[in-house]
A and B are shown apart, each in its own frame.
Chain A
């Protein structure tokens, strides 16, 4: 069953078209990787999916509901079922890691402070950051920031997790750890993950399904095996160069 359904989406910023007739799906319980070179429109697509920017035309359905025409209150109820891991973590810098993780719990649940504290510890434990709960984001390394942001993204046990370049800028070992964590989330919590990336090793490790984008258009959708045997030169080059690097 498709949880994310994008059909013929065209969008952009300030009158400049970035995405042209993009269509893709993400199946429930799978990790779908949206691949492509820098500037191909991956992050724009993510911003469309969480309505940070509006689509110019086309349809986006999340959990079988059209989100492009929803009012804010309706979309907020959809957002409660979604977690987003931003490229640079996007943790609030003025508050501690634990307070960051607490935000969705405090805002969207009526749980008591004791339960929220316990949940924060559970999420931080999951990302192996218990010891950093009282630290400010500025005191964390790049990998720790990503993991803390992941803890916040999964605070409400979302059914759908969007990750924007989760392993970009991390060393291979930290990347592998983060990938393992995403796999755990899918397997243990049954999360559907849509991951935007250009890190080929990461895709090969965890993705079930790939959407390959090029210059604002979808070039290919299918399994990794199908992608590798697609015979499309850009995809072959992408995988070759990605694994060589």
Chain B
């Protein structure tokens, strides 16, 4: 492989776009060519520097609202019993495993509705301006104590970086008039806010997917706490997040 070819193909290697055979060829060239190897390192360094900051823009709330209004029959979430049960049936079709744990919380009450609206607007707010995190660190042992005295719970903070969800930090937020902890993660370019609040029920309930204003929200309860994970990533990836968080949580608490 020539240097000219490598100078193009090293980018495909960097982006994980090469099949095994070509990847080996490029790697073999990089081993024997200090100049191309230096180029590869330089581009990798820049790629990492770019992914370390938030280069995405957040759509203004006014734009989101204008688009919503332009859609026929704008999202009036009818909260009569029948439509909620219909939602439940569709939910079970989505995931049998999730349905097994869906015992309570089937009926969406006005209270639930308000909480979800709060969660959504807190998420949107966090993406605007520069107030995503109050404490910015990828170290879970720094985030957890930071919440001491700020909220009346001790939110579990787990590092899921190895599982593909980077811990960005923590933030204090307000849901339903109460101070709650938000633990902020990132999946590629997407932000996940995990809100942790005091749970009402002592018995936990399994994760339940909701959508609001186009955001996916997973809500569940465990260890006397209530969790809301919200993001614009797709539902499957958000479920994956919940599963990984739950697993890490259980192994941390030894249950």
A binds B: no
Q: Give A contacts to B, CB under 8 Å.
A: none
